[in-house]
């Protein structure tokens, strides 16, 4: 018989219509959870839920809305709490906005958009869900999705990097109010991961990152989803307040001579930039990490 670690539990996954969030939701459904599939785009939310439901088994619930909006967050937590035969015990604040821009020209509107979704959305989703878990008198498990760019500076991502670093600090802070309630809270930080979005950013996104990452491969959504499932598993209950990087070793290293050689072979332009002791960048700021 298959062991389903999340049977009887409900999870909320924000930004789950595509990309990493969809893969996280898929893993949780396959492992027995009922999952609220949130996405800003209603079509994507419904399409994603339809893909995860079968005629016999319907545990994916589409809930379109803005994961940065506190009123909507409250509705979402109520909705999740009302799913029959399941209890809201898991939350994954995955929706995040990457806004590139030169520091000197970065507009207040862009700053607000990034901070609103990445920080405000994560903070108030954690708060609202944790209140529910506290009122229910049971524990829970909250994962906030960060980024490797919250650990290492990256060109043209000052606001984004700052917001993701803030998430890593937030999970440390939250161990204090949530630990005594049996609620774990951790940050999972992907490195460059091949998704529908990032695939459009570079012609050979996967190939470039296979050159840049010490383990010589690009991240895949399932790499992140496995890690989130590991953290959410009840057996991981003693892990809290941590940031776990899923980045092929990128954050652990700086450009090494052999990396520069490999880069020069396949990407002369990239090699030149690395030799010039600059952070990797192709086509100016369009070279995306996170
Ligand atoms: N893909 C990467 O390389 C990478 C690297 C590091 C960190 N991350 C982080 O991982 C998370 C997921 O990344 P991704 O690349 O899969 O995301 P993505 O940009 O592809 O977006 C995934 C989904 O989020 C939805 N979304 C956007 N704004 C929303 C909002 N306000 N409310 C609800 N849904 C919203 C989009 O419609 C989309 O379907 C993000 O937090 C991102 O910062 C991604």
Query: Where in the sequence of the chain do the CATH 3.40.50.720 domains occur?
Result: 9-248
Instruction: Please tell me if the CB atom of residue 66 comes closer than 6 angstroms to any atom of ligand 1.
Output: yes
Distance separating alpha carbons of residues 184 and 150, to the nearest angstrom: 21
**Which strands make up the sheet holding 87-93, listed edge to edge?**
60-64, 34-39, 9-13, 87-93, 140-145, 183-190, 243-246
Instruction: Please tell me if the CB atom of residue 228 comes closer than 6 angstroms to any atom of ligand 1.
Output: no
- Whether 160 sits among the annotated catalytic residues: the reply is yes
Helix (H) or strand (E) holding 38: strand 34-39
* Centre of ligand 1 from the C-alpha of residue 156, in Å: 18
The runs of H, that is alpha helices, within 92-188 are: 108-115, 122-136, 158-178
Instruction: Please tell me if the CB atom of residue 213 comes closer than 6 angstroms to any atom of ligand 1.
Output: no
Pocket test for ligand 1, best of 12, 16, 18, 19 (most atoms within 8 A of CB): 19
> Beta partners for 185?
142
**Topology (CATH level 3) of domain 9-248:** Rossmann fold (3.40.50)
pLDDT in tens, the chain (290 residues): 689 999 999 999 999 999 999 999 999 999 999 999 999 999 999 999 999 999 999 999 999 999 999 999 999 999 999 999 999 999 999 999 999 999 999 999 999 999 999 999 999 999 999 999 999 999 999 999 999 999 999 999 999 999 999 999 999 999 999 999 999 999 999 999 999 999 998 889 999 999 999 999 999 999 999 999 999 999 999 999 999 999 999 999 988 888 778 777 776 666 666 665 444 443 333 444 44
Instruction: Please tell me if the CB atom of residue 248 comes closer than 6 angstroms to any atom of ligand 1.
Output: no
pTM as predicted: 0.93
* Centre of ligand 1 from the C-alpha of residue 94, in Å: 6
């Amino acid at each position: 018989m298959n062991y389903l670690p999340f049977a009887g539990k409900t999870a909320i996954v924000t930004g789950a219509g595509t990309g990493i969030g969809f893969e996280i939701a898929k893993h949780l459904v396959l492992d027995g959870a009922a999952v609220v599939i949130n996405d800003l785009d209603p079509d994507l939310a419904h399409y994603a839920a339809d893909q995860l439901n079968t005629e016999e088994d319907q545990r994916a619930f589409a809930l379109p809305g803005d994961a940065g909006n506190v009123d909507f967050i409250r509705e979402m937590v109520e909705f999740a709490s009302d799913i029959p035969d399941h209890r809201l015990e898991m939350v994954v604040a995955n929706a995040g906005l990457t806004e590139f821009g030169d520091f000197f020209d970065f507009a207040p509107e862009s700053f607000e958009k990034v901070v609103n979704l990445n920080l405000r959305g994560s903070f108030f989703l954690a708060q609202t869900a944790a209140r529910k878990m506290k009122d229910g008198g049971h524990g829970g498990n909250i994962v906030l999705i960060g980024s490797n760019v919250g650990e290492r500076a990256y060109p043209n991502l000052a606001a984004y990097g700052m917001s993701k670093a803030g998430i890593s600090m937030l999970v440390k802070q939250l161990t204090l109010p949530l630990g005594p309630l049996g609620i774990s809270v951790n940050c999972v930080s992907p490195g460059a991961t091949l998704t529908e979005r990032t695939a459009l950013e570079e012609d050979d996104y996967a190939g470039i990152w296979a050159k840049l990452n010490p383990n010589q491969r690009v991240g895949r959504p399932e790499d992140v989803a496995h890690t989130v499932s590991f953290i959410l598993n009840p057996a991981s209950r003693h892990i809290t307040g941590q940031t776990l990087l899923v980045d092929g070793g990128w954050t652990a290293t700086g450009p090494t001579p052999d990396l520069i050689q490999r880069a020069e072979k396949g990407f002369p332009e990239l090699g030149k930039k690395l030799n010039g002791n600059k952070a990797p960048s192709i086509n100016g700021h369009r070279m995306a990490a996170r």
